[in-house]
């Protein structure tokens, strides 16, 4: 390159005839361009394979090729030994490419070679199984991708006995190739929701009589319909989907909660009734996924019949309001989440696909706005994630400890609730007064005064108050 630049400068000094300057400069520019193409070769135009990632989810193993451009490729599945190859035309390995360490259910290793001018990538498989392959364009932190999904054999079996624990399904929003919202500090929603969900799981699982099932416990993608099917297949008592919001401007902030809209719930109920019109003894909340052959004892079906669709929706609203109450004590909630005229928390109706398990109380919690710089920084910290996770898990535990479902160890007295002390800490914010705080926390002003030894109603932003919790 330096030689080419030197030649160009020297040539300009040698040519002194002004009338030939433009002509000569054009010729030299063309010569320089030709020189660079020859010097760099066609590799400058090649697609580069930047990296290979993989993840094992319950239903498939996903392998992702990260590329610098949309790939032109062909692929095939071979046997003896089992392997799958992809030939990417006009491609090469990136200079910084690192071969991944592989410890997967579906494939044992990866190899590279050149085949008829193409980069060949060979995935050595544990068995011959045809994958689904697709290309994806840039999205969030990812560029062009080639995505290969190898399905698992999933054995569906009957559950002989129902789970006597109170099963809670916690759904960490997004995952895998779907990052969700991207924060102004580049934090990804999928990572924040997974971290908060794991903290909720840990907190709830400490309480005897409860069991949390996660829709995902690592960074992989779960289709929306599969998320609520987890709740159905585990006979869950509550489905909680955890997300973080985003908006086109940085001002909005605060948590909010959603349930399946009334209209959607009615529509789902009508569809279910059509599917089950000849099974009147099941009416009362059992969805079409229940296999009656799994239950020889018809009495065992009763534990599934305790909630009707409208009851499930009403319970979801109740839990959502309690959850907003808990979050409001330790963090911001969105203004729409509290009706100051009525003095009550507001749960918003929405038609989210992930909430379609209407036979099960289902709520979606937006933990804050990643588009807001202050809230993005908070949600990226372990301390704030713990605060949100504790508010969510404490709400769930208190709700079911006060309303134990039938046919569970808690309802039958085999286990007892052992919850945290009946106080919480509240940090005073701008615009707060004792009466406003008392209304929001559903306690009396005198109770707050007594718990904090206050001699007057004067409070200031940043002050911490002990709030007595009333059941």
Same domain, 227 and 272: yes
Same domain, 255 and 199: yes
Cβ 391 vs Cβ 425: under 8 Å: no
Same domain, 40 and 51: no
Confidence of residue 277 (pLDDT cuts 50, 70, 90): very low
Position 321 in a domain:
yes
CA 440 to each of CA 16, 345, 415, 454: distance values in angstroms, whole numbers, following the listed order: 85, 8, 32, 19
CATH number of the domain at 301, please. Answer: 3.40.630.40
Give residues with Cβ within 8 angstroms of 458, minimum separation 6. Answer: none
Q: Which of 1-10, 184-193, 321-330 has the highest mean pLDDT?
A: 184-193
Same domain, 252 and 265: yes
423-463: pLDDT as tens digits? 677 878 888 899 888 887 778 888 888 888 888 899 988 88
202-243: pLDDT as tens digits? 999 999 999 999 999 999 888 887 888 888 788 899 999 999
Does position 32 have pLDDT exceeding 80, yes or no?
no
Q: What is the pLDDT of residue 349?
A: 76
Q: What is the pLDDT of residue 376?
A: 93
Q: How far apart are CA 73 and CA 120, in angstroms?
A: 9
Position 105 in a domain:
yes
152: exposed, middle or buried (Cβ count in 10 Å: 0-12, 13-18, 19+): middle
Position 416 in a domain:
no
Q: Give me the DSSP letters along 360-377.
A: S-EEEEEEEETTSHHHHH
Does position 158 have pLDDT exceeding 70, yes or no?
no
Domain count, the chain: 4
Mean pLDDT of the chain: 78
Same domain, 233 and 346: yes
Q: What's the length of the chain?
A: 471
Same domain, 50 and 31: no
Does position 44 have pLDDT exceeding 90, yes or no?
no
287-315: pLDDT as tens digits? 333 344 444 444 444 444 444 566 788 88
Residue-range definition of the domain harbouring residue 215: 166-402
Q: How far apart are CA 87 and CA 207, in angstroms?
A: 53
Same domain, 338 and 375: yes
Q: What is the pLDDT of residue 296?
A: 45
- Ranking 21-35, 115-129, 249-263, 354-368 by mean pLDDT, the lowest is 21-35
Q: How far apart are CA 82 and CA 60, in angstroms?
A: 17
How many CB atoms are located within 10 Å of the residue 8 CB? 15
Same domain, 280 and 379: yes
Specify the pTM: 0.66
Same domain, 349 and 429: no
Confidence of residue 421 (pLDDT cuts 50, 70, 90): low
Average pLDDT over residues 388-417: 91
Position 54 in a domain:
yes
Position 160 in a domain:
no
Q: Tokens 């080639």 identify what position?
A: 146
């Amino acid at each position: 390159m330096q030689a080419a630049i030197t030649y160009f400068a020297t040539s300009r000094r040698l040519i002194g005839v002004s009338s030939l300057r433009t002509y000569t400069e054009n010729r030299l520019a063309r010569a320089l361009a030709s020189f660079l193409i020859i010097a760099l070769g066609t590799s400058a135009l090649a697609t580069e394979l930047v990296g290979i990632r993989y993840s094992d989810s319950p239903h498939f193993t996903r392998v992702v090729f990260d590329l610098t451009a949309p790939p032109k490729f062909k692929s095939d599945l071979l046997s003896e030994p089992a392997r799958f190859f992809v030939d990417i035309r006009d491609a090469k390995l990136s200079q910084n490419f690192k071969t991944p360490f592989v410890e997967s259910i579906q494939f044992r290793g990866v190899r590279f070679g050149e085949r008829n001018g193409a980069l060949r990538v060979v995935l050595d498989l544990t068995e011959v199984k045809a994958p689904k392959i697709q290309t994806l364009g840039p999205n969030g932190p990812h560029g062009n991708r080639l995505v290969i999904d190898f399905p698992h054999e999933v054995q569906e079996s009957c559950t002989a006995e129902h789970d006597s624990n109170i099963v809670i399904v916690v759904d960490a929003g997004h995952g895998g190739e779907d990052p969700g919202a991207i924060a102004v500090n580049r934090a990804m929603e999928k990572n924040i929701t997974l971290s908060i969900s794991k903290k909720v799981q840990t907190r709830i699982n400490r309480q005897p009589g409860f069991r949390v099932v996660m829709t995902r416990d690592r960074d992989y993608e779960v289709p929306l319909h599969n998320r609520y099917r987890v709740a159905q297949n585990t006979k869950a008592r509550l489905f909680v989907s955890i997300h973080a919001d985003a908006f086109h401007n940085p001002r909005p902030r605060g948590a909010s909660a959603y349930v399946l809209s009334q209209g959607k719930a009615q529509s789902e109920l009508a569809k279910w009734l059509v599917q089950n019109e000849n099974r009147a003894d099941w009416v009362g909340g059992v969805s079409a996924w229940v296999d009656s052959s799994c239950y020889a004892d018809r009495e065992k079906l009763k534990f599934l019949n305790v909630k009707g669709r409208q009851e499930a929706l009403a319970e979801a609203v109740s839990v959502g309001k309690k959850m907003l109450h808990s979050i409001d004590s330790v963090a911001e909630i969105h203004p729409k989440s509290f009706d100051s005229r009525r003095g009550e928390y507001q749960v918003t109706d929405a038609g989210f696909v992930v909430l379609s398990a209407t036979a099960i109380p289902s709520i979606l919690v937006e933990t804050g706005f990643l588009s807001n710089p202050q809230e993005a920084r908070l949600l990226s910290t372990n301390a704030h994630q713990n605060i949100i996770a504790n508010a969510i898990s404490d709400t769930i535990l208190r709700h079911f400890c006060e309303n134990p479902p039938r046919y569970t160890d808690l309802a039958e007295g085999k286990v007892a609730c052992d919850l945290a002390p009946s106080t919480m800490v509240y940090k005073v914010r701008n615009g707060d007064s004792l009466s406003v705080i008392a209304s929001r926390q559903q306690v009396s002003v005198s109770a707050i005064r007594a718990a904090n030894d206050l001699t007057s109603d004067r409070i200031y932003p940043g002050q911490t108050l002990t709030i007595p919790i009333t059941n």
